[in-house]
Amino acid sequence: MHRSIGSRLSGEFSADFRFGNPAFARTIPLAMIAYLIRRTLYALPILIGVNLLTFALFFVVNTPDDMARMQLGIKRVTPEAIEKWKQQRGYDKPLFINRLSSGSDKLTDTIFWQKSASMFVLDFGFSDDGRSISREIAQRMMPSLAIALPTFLLGLVIYVSFALLMTLFRATALDMAGVALCVLLMSVSSLFYIIGGQFVVSKLWHLVPISGYDGGLGGFKFVVLPIVIGVVGGIGSSSRWYRTIFLEEIGKDYVRTARAKGLSELTVLFRHLLKNAMIPILTGVVVVIPLLFMGSLLTESFFGIPGLGSYTIDAINAQDFSVVRAMVFLGSLLYVIGLILTDISYTMVDPRVRLS
Amino acid sequence: MNFMPVVLWSDALVFLLLAAGVVVAWYVRRHEHLLLPWRRVGQSGVAVVSLLVLALFLLVGGLDTLHYRPALSDKNGGETVYSPEVLSVFDKLVEPLRLHSEKTYSAPLALTLYAKESFTDAQGRLVRDYPRLQYGGAHLAYPSQRDGDVLTRAAVGALAGLLLAGLSCAAWARLSPMRKKSHGGQFPPPYLLMAIFVIAALIGATFNLATAYHVLGTDKVGQDVLYQALKSIRTGLIIGTLTTLVTLPLALFLGVAAGYFRGWVDDVIQYLYTVLSSIPSVLLIAAAVLMMQVTLDTHPDWFDTAASRADLRLVALCLILGMTSWTGLCRLLRGETLKLREMEYIQAAQSFGVSSLRILTRHVMPNLMHIILISLVMDFSSLVLAEAVLSYVGVGVDPSMISFGTMINGARLEMGREPMVWWALAAAFGFMLVLVLAANLFADSVRDAFDPRLNRTEARA
C-alpha cells in the first residue's frame, strides 16, 4: 500500500530525510506496539494454515499405517510391528476426536492436538531416536548462525557494491562484462561451488580442513570456506537483481536533479540512489534474516556443520517425519517474523510509511 | 512387430505440451502483433545461438521420450514376449554407447581401467597391472598408438561435421525465403554460421571418438559417462517444462481471479499463497516428496515396470515442484490484473455489460501473456538447477533414473579417491552449465523483447 503513495513523489523529498528524524522518533513506541500486536494477530491465521497443511500432508494423505509399513520395510511387516511402531511415536491415536476418552481429553488425546497444535507453543515432541526436538533446535541454531550470518552480511556488502559498480559504468563494456559474468555465475550449479571449492582449497591447497566444526575462535578455520563459497555462489543472481533495482532508480527525476546541481556521480549513487533503492532492497533482504537460523541444507551437510540445515537433511534421509514437520513449522514461523520485520524496516528508512 | 510402443506418463504430458506449443506457434504466426516481439528475439545473436544449443538439447530429449519395449527373441508359444526393459529411440541410436560397458571406472579416452588388477597375460603369467578395457580403444595393438589415433579420429570427425554443416547451410541459404529480405548482410548471419560450424565440429569429433573410446570415461559400474550425461538431458528438460503445466493454470486462474474479482475471492487466494510461500520451499518439497514416496510404496500395483515407477515419481516430483512454485507468478499476475482492471478499456467493456469471462479472456489475459512467458522461461533454468540439489538432499528423482543430480550424487562419493575420479562430476556439471547458460541467455533475450517497460524506439527503426 505504502508503495502507491506516489512513486513520482519519491526522490528529492525523501532523499533529504534523515534516519533519526526527531518528530518521527517520538511517535514510535505506542504506535509500534499496537502495530506489532496487530501484525502478530494477522500472522496467526497463516501459521494455522501451515499447521493444517502439514497435518494434512503427513497424516491424511497417508495414514500412520502406511508410514509404518514404509519404514519397517515390506517384508517383516506384521500388524503387531505396525502397532508397536505407532505406539512408540504416539501415532496410535485417532486423528481429531478420541471417542474413548472423556472430557477435554476427547480433543487433546488425538494426533492433531498432540502432534500439530502443540507446535504453537514450540513443543515439537521427540525425534525417532528419542531426543527432544526443541532442545536439538536450540543447540543447533548457533552453528547455523555462525555460517549464515557472516555469509549474509558479507554477501550483502559485496553484491550491492558490485551492483553499484556496474551501475556506475552502465552501458559500457565493463557493465556488459559484469552482466555476462553474473549470468555465467548464475548458470553454475550451487553443488559445483561447494564441491569445487572443497576440492581446490582444502584438497589441493590444504588451506583449511575439508569439513568439521568447532565452537569459539578455533572454529574460524572451519567456517571460512563455507562462508566464502556461500558468498561466491550468490554473486550472480543477487548482483544482477540489485543492478536492475539501481537502473530503475537511475532514470528518475531526482537523479537528474542531483546531477544538475553539479553533484559528482559517486555522490549521486551513494547519497541519493542507494537511499531511495532501500525499499526494494529491504523487501528482499529483511525477510530472510530470521531464516538465517535455519542454516543452509547443502553447505552444512557438505561441511559437516552441526546446524539445523544438516539436522533437516539427516531427518529427510532417515525419514524422520516428526523432525521434518517441526522444521517446516519453524521455517514458516521465521518467515512470518521476517515479514513483520520487513514492514517495520520500511518505516525506519522511509518516514512517509506510516504504521497503519 | 518386433517392438511395443510404450507411452509413459511423462511422455504423454510432453506430447501434450508439444501439441500446445504447436497450436500456440501456429496462432502466433498468424498474428503480426504477436509475432513482432519474436522477431526482436530473432534479431539478437545471443538469442539465436542459445536457441540453437537449446534445440539440440531438445532434440536429444525428444528422441529420448519416444519409448518402446523390444521383443525378446524367444517366443512363448507363438506369442511375442516383450522385454521388461523400456528403451527409447535415442537408446537405439546410441546403442554402442549403452551396451559397451566396462568393469568399473576408467578415465576419459583411457585404454585401461582406473585400478590395477591381477590377471594372467598372454604368456600365462600372473601380472598386476592396469587391465585393458573391453571396448575403449580395443582396436589398438599398442597403447602408444592412442594419441595419434585420437587426434586422427577427432580431426576426421570434426571435418565430417563441418562438411555436413556447410552443405546444409548452403542448401538452407539457397532455399530459404528469407534470403532476399535479409537485413543488410548475408543469410544465415555470420555469427549463426560460426556457431553452427563450431557445434558441428564438436559433435562430429565426439561422435567419431565415441565409436571407439569412452570419451568421458566410465562410471563405477562401467557405464559410459557420455551416455549418462546425454540421458540426463531428458530428465532435466522434463523437470523444467512439465512443472509449468502445473504452475501455469494455477497461477493464471487464481492470480487473475484474485486481481479481477477482489473482495473475499482475493482474500482467500492471497491467504492460500501466503501460507504456501511462507514454508521454505526446500522443506515443503521435501515433506511432500517423503509423503509421495510413502504413497508410491504402498501402491505397487500402479506400475508394471521399473521404468514406469521411476517415471511416475518424476511426474509426481514435477507436480510437487509446480504446487510449491506457483505462488510467485500468481502474485505477479494478481498485481498486474489489479492495475489492468482500472484501465479505461476494461471499464468501458464493463459498462457495456460484457460478461466477466469475456473481459478476462479478451482483455485481461492477452495483456498478461508477456509476464507469463517471461517468468516461464526464467523459471526453466532454476528448475534444472534445483533438480540436482533435490537429488542430493534425497528428495529428487528416483535413484534408478539417470539425471544430473543422480550423476553428481554418485560421483561425489568418489572425491576422496586417489587419483581422483573427476570425469563424471565434470561431465554432469559441464552439460548442466551449457544447458542452463543457454536457457538463461535465451530467457534474457525473451525478457528484453517482451518487456513493455523497455523503450524500444530504436528497435523498430
The contact set of B with A (CB < 8 A) is 271-272, 274-276, 278-280, 282-284, 286-288, 290-291, 293-295, 297-298, 381, 385, 388-389, 392-395, 404, 408, 412, 415, 420, 425, 429, 432-433, 436-437, 440-441, 444
Residue B239 has pLDDT above 70, yes or no: yes
For the segment A109-121, the average pLDDT, to the nearest whole number, is 76
Residue B282 has pLDDT above 70, yes or no: yes
| HSE-up of residue A317 (Cα within 13 Å, Cβ side) | 12
Q: Looking at per-residue confidence, does B181 or B294 come out higher?
A: B294
pLDDT band per the 50, 70, 90 thresholds, residue A3: very low
Residue B138 sits at φ, ψ, to 5 deg, of -70, -20
Closest residue, chain B, to A193 (C-alpha): B429
Residues B290-312 have pLDDT tens digits of 888 888 877 878 877 788 888 98
Q: What percent of chain A has pLDDT over 90?
A: 28
Q: Which of A46, A287, A312, A316 to mutate to test the interface with B (most CBs of B within 10 A)?
A: A316
Residue A355: predicted pLDDT: 60
pLDDT band per the 50, 70, 90 thresholds, residue A354: low
How far is Cα B449 from Cα B461, in angstroms, rounded to an integer?
Answer: 15
How far is Cα B250 from Cα B256, in angstroms, rounded to an integer?
Answer: 10
Chain-chain contact of A46 with B278 (C-beta, under 8 angstroms): yes
Place of cell 538432499: B393
How far is Cα A310 from Cα A328, in angstroms, rounded to an integer?
Answer: 14
pLDDT band per the 50, 70, 90 thresholds, residue B86: confident
Chain B partners within 8 Å of A70 (Cβ):
293-294, 297-298
Q: Worst-scoring range by mean pLDDT, A199-203, B38-42, B132-136? A: B132-136
Amino acid in the structure at residue A337: I
Residue A231 has pLDDT above 90, yes or no: yes
Considering only the beta carbons, identify the residue of B287, B293, B408 that sits closest to A54.
Answer: B287
Residue A24 has pLDDT above 60, yes or no: no
Residue A65 contacts residue A82 (beta carbons within 8 Å)? yes
A317 min Cα distance to partner chain B (Å): 6
Residue B395 has pLDDT above 80, yes or no: yes
Chain B partners within 8 Å of A186 (Cβ):
381, 440
For the segment B407-429, the average pLDDT, to the nearest whole number, is 84
Chain-chain contact of A189 with B298 (C-beta, under 8 angstroms): no
Q: What percent of chain A has pLDDT over 70?
A: 88
A178's grid cell:
559484469
Q: Looking at per-residue confidence, does B183 or A301 come out higher?
A: A301
Closest residue, chain B, to A184 (C-alpha): B437
Smallest Cα–Cα separation from B379: which of B312, B327, B431?
A: B327
Residue B454: predicted pLDDT: 63
Residue B159: predicted pLDDT: 94
Q: Which of A61, A294, A308, A332 to mutate to test the interface with B (most CBs of B within 10 A)?
A: A332
Chain A partners within 8 Å of B404 (Cβ):
189
Q: What angle do CA B258, B262, B268 make, to 5 degrees?
A: 60
Place of cell 570427425: B157
Smallest Cα–Cα separation from A95: which of A120, A130, A132, A65?
A: A65
pLDDT band per the 50, 70, 90 thresholds, residue B76: low
Please determine, for the modelled complex, whether the ipTM score is greater than 0.90: no
Q: Name the strand (E) or helix (H) holding B455.
A: none
Considering only the beta carbons, identify the residue of A191, A298, A331 that sits closest to B283.
Answer: A331
Instruction: Give this prediction's pTM.
Output: 0.88
Residue B437 contacts residue B238 (beta carbons within 8 Å)? no
Residue B440 sits at φ, ψ, to 5 deg, of -65, -45
Chain-chain contact of B286 with A324 (C-beta, under 8 angstroms): yes
Burial bucket for residue A239 (CB in 10 Å: 0-12, 13-18, 19+): buried
Chain A partners within 8 Å of B274 (Cβ):
46, 49
Residues B187-224 have pLDDT tens digits of 678 888 889 999 999 999 998 888 888 888 888 888 88
Chain A partners within 8 Å of B436 (Cβ):
187-189
B363 min Cα distance to partner chain A (Å): 24
A294 min Cα distance to partner chain B (Å): 10
pLDDT band per the 50, 70, 90 thresholds, residue B77: low
pLDDT band per the 50, 70, 90 thresholds, residue A6: very low
Strands B67-70 and B3-6: antiparallel
DSSP-assigned letters across all residues of A138-201: HHHHHHHHHHHHHHHHHHHHHHHHHHHHHHHTTTSHHHHHHHHHHHHHHTS-HHHHHHHHIIII
Residue A64 has pLDDT above 80, yes or no: no
Residue A76: predicted pLDDT: 65
Chain-chain contact of A312 with B286 (C-beta, under 8 angstroms): yes
Strand partners, B390: none
How far is Cα A130 from Cα A127, in angstroms, rounded to an integer?
Answer: 5
Residue B449 CB contacts under 8 Å (≥ 6 apart), including other chains:
B37, B38, B40, B41, B44, B47
Residue B75 has pLDDT above 80, yes or no: no
Chain-chain contact of A195 with B283 (C-beta, under 8 angstroms): no
Q: Looking at per-residue confidence, does B370 or A118 come out higher?
A: B370
Strand partners, B82: B71
Smallest Cα–Cα separation from B10: which of B236, B193, B344?
A: B236
Residue A148 has pLDDT above 90, yes or no: yes
Closest residue, chain B, to A338 (C-alpha): B278
Burial bucket for residue B193 (CB in 10 Å: 0-12, 13-18, 19+): middle
Q: In B173-190, which positions are buried (b, 16+ CB within 10 angstroms) versus exposed (e)?
A: eeeeeeeeeeeeeebbee
B219 min Cα distance to partner chain A (Å): 18
Residue A75: predicted pLDDT: 62
pLDDT band per the 50, 70, 90 thresholds, residue B180: low
Closest residue, chain B, to A46 (C-alpha): B275
For the segment A95-106, the average pLDDT, to the nearest whole number, is 71
Residue B441: predicted pLDDT: 93
Residues A162-187 have pLDDT tens digits of 999 999 998 899 999 999 999 999 99
Average pLDDT, chain A: 82
Largest Cα span, chain B:
97
Coil/strand/helix, residue A294: helix
Coil/strand/helix, residue B67: strand
For the segment B284-291, the average pLDDT, to the nearest whole number, is 88
Chain A partners within 8 Å of B297 (Cβ):
66, 69-70, 74
Residue B127 has pLDDT above 70, yes or no: yes
For the segment B46-75, the average pLDDT, to the nearest whole number, is 89
For the segment B132-136, the average pLDDT, to the nearest whole number, is 81
Closest residue, chain B, to A325 (C-alpha): B287
